[in-house]
Structure 1
Amino acid sequence: MIDLVIFDADGVLFDSVEANIAYYNAIFSAIGEPALSPIEEREGIYYATIQMFERRAGGDPAKLARMKEVARGLDSARFFAMLRPPFDLRPFMLELRQRYRLALATNRSTTVFALVEHLGLAEIFEAVASVFDRVRPKPAPDMLELCLRRAKVEPDRAVYVGDSPIDREAALAAGIRFIGVGDRVEHDQRIGGLGELPARLEALFASAGQRKATSSSR
């Protein structure tokens, strides 16, 4: 049985490619750094900001400090305006919440609560965990485990919905089921987009119930 559905943010609830590129390029431009490379553009979708900064700084603490300083002064609203949800998220999530408890686990940090407000999902999630909680970013399982503790749910009664290999790795390390979204991640439980999630959850729910019934009859 599935009690808790934990969502990643970027790449699951919305397409953030344009927003992420604009965000990092604004910071790098301000300190005289070149724009994101094509590889960095892909990594920026799922790596935590501090991971992106550290990789670009290359061990230079002064450069890392400048990146953090510029980031603190940026207005998140201009980048939130570039996010592209697949549809109106609020009614979808309210409908889903009638069947499951919902949580959010993202490698975002200081922007996470403003982001949830921007999306109109402030009261939707029972638990929210992010790098802002001073836990290791994914692929470490820390923030998923934090969601489980905050929601008081056992790992075998939860599922994580993510779009990247690091999401899949985090779910595996936390001992919870995983559903992949889109073509950036390979998994036997993979859907093309968020709209397919309710049907996939129902299938998982039925499968888990069938296994339990089979086990009980032995």
Structure 2
Amino acid sequence: MLLIFDCDGVLVDSEPLACQVDAEILTALGLPYTPQDIARQFVGKSMRDMIARIEADHGCALPADFAERINGALFTKFETDLKPIAGVSEAIRSLPHPRCVASSSAPERIALSLRVTDLANLFENVFSATQVARGKPAPDLFLFAAEQMGTSPRNCLVIEDSPAGVQGALSAGMRVIGFTGGGHCGPDHAEKLRQAGASVVIARMADLSATVRAFA
């Protein structure tokens, strides 16, 4: 069985930092967003999809260097403030299965996230939504990861924190564990993941090993 981990909100507690940066830069551009707005609308989505949605909603084009501005501010913050999800390293090390990362983020952001939290050496491969035509909730990224890892989708188990990610994994024919231990997850987040199709939802990485064994 192949374990496929999302990165933001599953491996690293990055979503509160990212939502704050996104909201600040958009508001400075005259498009007022709060971090809560960003979390509600865009967590789990790629930068490409976020930009397309904002431009469609507001009927305007964002600056050509918008993604560069976001990444510059965010990467600086990650270097000093980013932390791993509590207990994630121990939980992953306890699992004997092959594993990889499949994230909506760009490769540079994923690499930085795993480096500063000392998680990079725990995964055989890392895949980004920039490598496929459609990001989550489409199944493309998960199917690409399974193909590259030489595993049938039905033998994959995905750990996801976003409804879009849960939907994408299920559309790929994979099983899913929902995770609500990230700092962006409110009291209703578990229900959102269940509504998206997650049959099991956990709030602590300490519960991951037993939950994975139940799927084996």
| Equivalence for 2:104 | 107
| Equivalence for 2:187 | none
Aligned residues with identical type, % of pairs: 26
| Equivalence for 1:125 | 123
Give the CA deviation at 1:178.
Answer: 1.0
Give the CA deviation at 1:160.
Answer: 0.6
Q: Is the 8 A contact 1:28 1:67 kept in 2?
A: no
- DSSP-derived class of the 1:202 partner: helix
RMSD: 2.4
Give the CA deviation at 1:170.
Answer: 0.9
Q: Which runs of 4+ in 1 moved over 6 A?
A: none
Structure 1: which amino acid aligns with 2:114?
V
| Equivalence for 1:176 | 174
Alignment size in residue pairs: 201
CA distance in 1, matches of 2:161, 2:168: 12
| Equivalence for 1:165 | 163
Q: Is the 8 A contact 2:104 2:136 kept in 1?
A: yes
**Greater CA deviation, 130-139 or 35-44?**
35-44
CA distance in 2, matches of 1:150, 1:53: 28
The alpha-carbon distance between structure 1 residues 60 and 72, as it changes in their structure 2 partners (threshold 3 A), is farther
Cα deviation code 1:9-48 (max 9, x no counterpart): 2222233342022220343245343233633332333222
| Equivalence for 1:95 | 94
TM-score normalised to structure 1 length:
0.80
Give the CA deviation at 1:72.
Answer: 5.0
Where does the alignment leave 5 or more consecutive residues of structure 1 unmatched?
206-218
Q: Is the 8 A contact 2:166 2:176 kept in 1?
A: yes
| Equivalence for 2:201 | 190
| Equivalence for 2:144 | 146
Give the CA deviation at 1:138.
Answer: 0.5
**Greater CA deviation, 140-149 or 54-63?**
54-63
TM-score normalised to structure 2 length:
0.81
**Greater CA deviation, 29-38 or 7-16?**
29-38
